[in-house]
Amino acid sequence: MPKIARRQQPALPWTTLIANELSRLRMTEHTFMVVVAVVIGVLGGFGAILFRFTIRLFEAVFFQSWHYSLDYVLQLPWYIKLFAPAAGGLIVGPIVYNFAREARGHGVPEVMESIVLRGGAIRPRVMIAKVIASAVCIGSGGSVGREGPIVQIGSAIGSALGQLIKVTGTRLRTFVACGTAAGIAATFNAPIAGALFAMEVILSDFGISQFSPIVVSSVAATVVSRHFLGDFSAFIIPPYELVSVFEMIPYVILGILSAFAALAFINLLYKSEDLFERLPLPPFLKPATGGLLIGAIGILYPYIFGVGYDTISLALNGELLWYFLIFLVVLKLVATSLTIGSGGSGGIFAPSLFLGANLGGFVGTVVHSLLPSFTAASGAYALVGMGAVAAGAMHAPITSILIIFELTNDYHIILPLMITCIISVLITTRLKKDSIYTLKLSRRGINIFHGQEINVLHSLRVSKALNKNCEKVRAATPFRKLMDLTVSSPHPNFFVVDDQNHLRGVISIHDLRSIIYESDALEPLLVADDLSTPIEHYFTPEDTLDIVMKAFGEINIDELPVVNDEKNLELIGTVSKNQVIELYNQEIFKRDMVTSVSSYIGSLRKFKRIELMDGHVLGEIEVPGEFVHKTLRELNLRSRFGVEVILIKQGYDAEKKEKQKIMPSQPDYRFKFGDSILIMGLHDSLENMKFGKNSKI
Express each pLDDT in 447-466 by its tens digit.
Answer: 665 444 445 666 678 888 88
Distance, in Å, from the CA atom of 688 to the CA atom of 696, rounded to the nearest integer, reads 10
Nearest to residue 168, comparing CAs of 601, 651, 527? 651
- 247 or 678: whose pLDDT is higher? 247
Report the pLDDT value the prediction gives residue 293, as an integer from 0 to 100: 92
Alpha helices, DSSP H only, in 476-576? 479-488, 509-514, 519-522, 528-531, 545-554
| 3-class DSSP string for 358-410 | HHHHHHHHHHHHHCCCCCCCHHHHHHHHHHHHHHHHHCCHHHHHHHHHHHHCC
Tens of pLDDT, residues 539-562: 888 888 878 887 777 777 778 888
Report the pLDDT value the prediction gives residue 70, as an integer from 0 to 100: 85
- 411 or 89: whose pLDDT is higher? 89
Tens of pLDDT, residues 373-412: 888 888 889 999 999 999 999 988 888 888 888 777 767 7
Q: Which phi and psi angles does 339 have, rounded to 5°?
A: -65, -50
Report the pLDDT value the prediction gives residue 385, as an integer from 0 to 100: 93
Beta bridge partners of 677: 621, 648
Rounded mean pLDDT, 113-126? 74
Contact 491, 473 (CB under 8 A): no
Whether the model pTM is above 0.85? no
pLDDT at 25 over 70: no
Report the pLDDT value the prediction gives residue 419, as an integer from 0 to 100: 92
Tens of pLDDT, residues 490-501: 777 778 888 788
User: CATH says 27-229 is which class?
Assistant: mainly alpha
Q: Which residues contact 263 (CB under 8 A, 6 or more apart)?
A: 392, 428, 431, 432
**Amino acid at site 553:** G
Report the pLDDT value the prediction gives residue 520, as an integer from 0 to 100: 62
Domain with CATH 3.10.580.10 in the chain: 462-581
pLDDT at 312 over 60: yes
Highest mean pLDDT among 413-417, 594-598, 614-618: 413-417
Q: Which residues contact 280 (CB under 8 A, 6 or more apart)?
A: none
Distance, in Å, from the CA atom of 696 to the CA atom of 545, rounded to the nearest integer, reads 47
Q: Which phi and psi angles does 505 have, rounded to 5°?
A: 175, -170
Report the pLDDT value the prediction gives residue 10, as an integer from 0 to 100: 47
Report the pLDDT value the prediction gives residue 696, as an integer from 0 to 100: 42
Report the pLDDT value the prediction gives residue 614, as an integer from 0 to 100: 64
Q: How confident is the model at residue 26 (pLDDT cuts 50, 70, 90)?
A: very low
**Domain 601-690 fold:** Alpha-Beta Plaits (3.30.70)
Q: Which phi and psi angles does 288 have, rounded to 5°?
A: -70, -35
Report the pLDDT value the prediction gives residue 254, as an integer from 0 to 100: 94
Distance, in Å, from the CA atom of 687 to the CA atom of 607, rounded to the nearest integer, reads 9
pLDDT at 615 over 60: yes
User: CATH says 245-282+306-442 is which class?
Assistant: mainly alpha
- 174 or 656: whose pLDDT is higher? 174
Taking residue 58's Cβ as centre, other Cβ atoms within 10 Å add up to 22
Tens of pLDDT, residues 408-428: 776 778 889 999 999 999 999
As a whole number, the mean pLDDT across the chain is 79
Distance, in Å, from the CA atom of 47 to the CA atom of 45, rounded to the nearest integer, reads 5
- 555 or 601: whose pLDDT is higher? 555
Domain with CATH 3.30.70.1450 in the chain: 601-690
The superfamily CATH assigns to domain 462-581 is CBS-domain (3.10.580.10)
Distance, in Å, from the CA atom of 256 to the CA atom of 466, rounded to the nearest integer, reads 47
Rounded mean pLDDT, 191-207? 78
Domain with CATH 1.10.3080.10 in the chain: 27-229, 245-282+306-442
